[in-house]
Amino acid sequence: MLVLGIETTCDETAAAVVERQDGGRATILSNVVLSQIAEHAAFGGVVPEIAARAHVEALDLIIATAMADAGREFSALDGVAAAAGPGLIGGVIVGLTTAKAIAIVHEKPLIAVNHLEAHALTARLTDGISFPYCLFLASGGHTQIVAVRGVGDYVRLGTTRDDAIGEAFDKTAKLLGLGYPGGPRVEQEAAHGDRGRFLLPRPMIGRHDADFSLSGLKTALRLEAERIAPLSDQDVADLCASFQLAVVETVVDRLRQGLRIFRQRFGAPTALVAAGGVASNQAIRDAMLDVALQDQVALVIPPPSLCTDNAAMIAWAGAERLTHGLCDTLDTSPRARWPLDQVIKPIVVESAAPMETAPVAAEALATDPAGNEAAVPDSLPTDPSSTASSSTETSKTAEAPPSDAAPSDPAPSAIA
Ligand code: KG4
Ligand code: ZN
């Protein structure tokens, strides 16, 4: 199965072609990412209007490059997948509309992919792991611990009560004058700082839930910075190192709770998995290894280039959904908000045979004109004639056996 993926939800314009073999084995044939960092740097963060315009200008070339790198024609595709949200709505419209145009012209199924689901399934692209697994999803807008039980079957075990971890890194960087994007800059500074110099709070540590809270830590950091201002280069490095250590220790405690809750509710996970841009932070990756070793669970963290936003994960999520017979109609709406637990699940097929054809319109039926998810029910059948309306526990269809193969080339090519 050959799928073109398109990603435009934030500040990366990306396209990729991924092939999924029948056994679940994956090959990334191309993976092109154009970062908009230069356009946004002067503003200290992503400017939605600038992002949308940049996507319009770049996307056609990025897609053409991805197809050329893959050496395949549009006619060879089995589906066209685009991130349909959540994200900055202007960019989502650009990507989804482009995918619709390609789907119409080449008469291919459209798959409107939830960007968070794509992050959640990336470990199956890179490592072929099977369900269920415990996911730590940490990006600029989300911080969640999720039980991934099947395609479309996600149970949130913990979430942030205020800022996302990536957002806290970004705000810390801005406060300390490090610029945008914040996460990598804070990590670089932390590498030559004294992480024991400032004793910052570890919010939520010791609690029995698996939730996060970052705003108190952010405020504590600001107060320390104001107290010792003006800041020397070493002060900035020490603040970054102390902040990163507080985040790491919080993540470790929250993941232990998340794994405990996972086991209580669902039994042993096949793995502890990380996804999202924050998962490219080496200190967090190292800490997750300690958690996994102590908990005696396998650890799967995709390479940094597949943790940050990319289109290979969108193509792969499209292939996973298409394998289950899930695709979307051409009037599917883009969504600024789209919680992971509102993604449509495959329906159970009594014969246990995978569905060969697909298409339906579930999301288009369920979205309101503004593109928000308010009217989306928990689950909708893929076949409008189906009576499987109680399909909330239905994700165990046609699960492909895990593949032991890594993708051939997960490294993206960048266009400057
Ligand atoms: O998943 P992603 O690329 O985009 C979103 O969907 O948000 O994540 C971006 C976030 C940003 O907040 C960025 O600062 C953070 O991930 N990030 C990092 C690192 N690299 C990216 N945070 C900490 N350390 C890093 N090395
Ligand atoms: Zn993301």
Q: What is the pLDDT of residues 11-70, one digit of tens each?
A: 999 999 999 999 889 999 999 999 988 888 888 788 999 999 999 999 999 999 999 999
CA–CA gap between residue 221 and residue 173 (Å, rounded): 11
Judge contact between 151 and 160, C-beta under 8 A.
Answer: no
pLDDT at 371 over 70: no
Longest CA–CA span in the chain (Å) reads 70
CA–CA gap between residue 205 and residue 263 (Å, rounded): 20
The predicted model scores a pTM of 0.84
Judge contact between 5 and 33, C-beta under 8 A.
Answer: no
Predicted confidence band of residue 271 (pLDDT cuts 50, 70, 90) = very high
Residue to probe by mutation, ligand 1, list 8, 35, 144, 169, most atoms within 8 Å of CB:
169
Q: Kindly report the average pLDDT of the chain as a whole number.
A: 86
- What is the enclosing helix (H) or strand (E) of 212? none
CA of 37 to the centre of ligand 1 (A): 12
pLDDT at 405 over 60: no
The C-alpha R_g of the chain, in whole angstroms, comes to 21
Residue whose Cα lies nearest atom 8 of ligand 1: it is: 277
pLDDT at 398 over 80: no
The string of pLDDT tens digits covering residues 281-307 is: 999 999 999 999 999 999 999 999 999
Start-to-end CA distance of the chain, whole Å, equals 30
- Give pLDDT, residue 350: 57
CA of 22 to the centre of ligand 2 (A): 27
φ, ψ of residue 225 in degrees (nearest 5) = -65, -40
- Give pLDDT, residue 415: 46
CA–CA gap between residue 145 and residue 127 (Å, rounded): 19
CA–CA gap between residue 18 and residue 125 (Å, rounded): 9
Pocket of ligand 1 (CB under 6 A): 10, 139-141, 166-167, 169-170, 181-184, 187, 276-278, 280-281, 308-309
Which ligand has its closest atom nearest to the C-alpha of 118?
2
Collect residues with CB below 5 Å from ion ligand 2: 139, 309
pLDDT at 208 over 60: yes
